[in-house]
Homo-oligomer: A and B are copies of this chain.
Amino acid sequence: MNEASLDIISIRNHFPILHQQVNGHPLVYFDNAATTQKPIEVIDALGDYYKLHNANIHRGAHALADRSTGFFEDTRKSVQQFINAKEAAECIFTKGVTESINLVAQTYGKAFLKPGDEVLISYMEHHSNIVPWQMICNEIGAQLKVIPIHENGELDMEAFYKLLSVQTKIVACVWASNALGTINPVKEIIDAAHKVGAIVLLDGAQAGSHLPIDVQQLDVDFLTLSGHKLYGPTGVGVLYGKRKLLDKMPPYQGGGEMIKEVSFESTTYNEIPFKFEAGTPNIGDVIAFKYALEFVSRIGKEAIIQWESKLLNHFNAGINEFGSNRIKLFGTAKEKVAVQSFLIEGKHPFDTGLLLDAKGIAVRTGHHCTQPLMNFFGIEGTVRASFAVYNTMEEVDVLLESLKKMLNRK
């Protein structure tokens, strides 16, 4: 579908939450990088699941268990298609990106990292792609190395090539930055890493709803996604991994369906994906998540990114028009998803956030779980507006107007 043909009003009608007043103003939801809203198809699927089908899955002999198992595995197939994985079994359900990364660090990392090995991350990582690696590096005695960035928020690729060596065993990198919007050259990173024998994990939290994904074409080793940032319910995430890696990794959590046979002396583990899905999964939300993937696919990533870029460009053009040097943008990379951080000089982001909230505008303020990145810029935090396909130009105008008022006031 072409962006030109996108009917945003009818898309908005799929999102009941958008049609409300906040502080007496129509809600303008620009906190999409934190979590997107959910189309009615997802909400209804969740309700229907609990009203009609709910049962624990897999081993059940009865009709409800059978249906639920079928729906659950259907979502896995949808995920497979969504990211073009070779097999559905390579798609593991987790709680979100954070759990997916921890899983890889604690299984692949623990089994294959050795003292002196290096894990390479970047300066713009989310805490969820820093702390798990710090923890495992500390435990093993491996080294955490950090790719610096340029002032505009792009990765310093020259530095990357210098840091990359045969010591590098894992490169864990954000695909699109949640604080700056920067889209990193992930294909180049993957190819370079593979040349020195390192594997690559991509933090796809922000890529999921914006960028076309083809794990086979990318040849990425691990990709992590959060359902709630992809128009799906909270509590669902994906860990994609190549079978040859997943097969040789030890399990993460123990219990429930992840075993083949248990005795007190020894336990043998199940095949993927079940090996990594201990305990009763988040069945209802996984089942509903399929409708989120279908929502995105129906509109089409191409059309989505085109529209969101228009919103972003409109916002940045509006800021430029202010002609004020009291508003500073953070994240001006050439390739960006529709996320814009900024600061008004002399104004704490928290105040800006509250003033916007007073006009019904939801933005995020603070460090966005990227403290090292904030330190790089020498700031405590930013105000961040992040756009989704259901946002309109008029909403961007409302934001611009409020900011203008703030600038003019002092």
Residues 191 to 250 of chain A near chain B (Cβ within 8 Å): 226, 228, 233-236
Task: Assess whether A255 is in contact with B132, with CB atoms less than 8 Å apart.
Answer: yes
A364 within 8 A of B: yes
In the complex this chain forms, how many copies of it are found? 2
Q: Which of A249-265 contact B (CB under 8 A)?
A: 251, 253-259, 261-264
Q: Which residues of B contact A236 (CB under 8 A)?
A: 235
The A95-129 residues at the B interface (CB cut-off 8 A) are: 95-99, 101-102, 105, 126-129
Nearest CB in chain B: distance from A280 CB, A: 5
Query: A271-286 CB contact bits vs B (8 Å, 1 = yes)?
Result: 0000000111111110
Residue A296 is within 8 A (CB to CB) of chain B in the complex? no
Verify B59–A102 contact, CB threshold 8 A: no
Q: Choose from B51, B130, B253, B282 the contact partner of A132 (Cβ within 8 Å).
A: B253
Residue ID in chain B nearest A52 by CB atoms:
B17
Q: Known contacts A50-B17, A262-B371: does B366 contact A280 (CB below 8 Å)?
A: no
With an 8 A cutoff between CB atoms, is A171 at the interface? no
Q: Contacting A128 at CB < 8 Å: which of B134, B251, B279?
A: B279
A interface secondary structure, majority: mixed
Q: Which residues of B contact A365 (CB under 8 A)?
A: 59, 61
Contact A146 B50 (CB under 8 A): no
A59 partner residues in chain B, CB cutoff 8 A = 364-366
Question: 20 A-B pairs, CB-CB below 8 angstroms?
Answer: A27-B64, A34-B60, A34-B65, A37-B54, A38-B54, A43-B51, A56-B228, A62-B361, A63-B357, A127-B256, A128-B278, A130-B262, A130-B267, A132-B254, A146-B264, A234-B282, A235-B284, A256-B369, A257-B369, A285-B285
Q: A17-B53, A23-B63, A130-B262 are in contact. List 14 more A-B contacts (CB 8 A).
A: A43-B47, A43-B50, A47-B47, A55-B362, A59-B365, A61-B366, A62-B362, A64-B362, A65-B362, A98-B256, A99-B253, A130-B264, A131-B259, A134-B267
Q: A: which residues have CB within 8 A of B? A: 16-17, 20, 22-23, 27, 29, 31, 34-35, 37-38, 42-43, 46-47, 50-56, 59-65, 95-99, 101-102, 105, 126-132, 134-135, 144, 146, 226, 228, 233-236, 251, 253-259, 261-264, 266-267, 278-285, 350, 353-354, 356-357, 360-366, 369, 371-372, 375
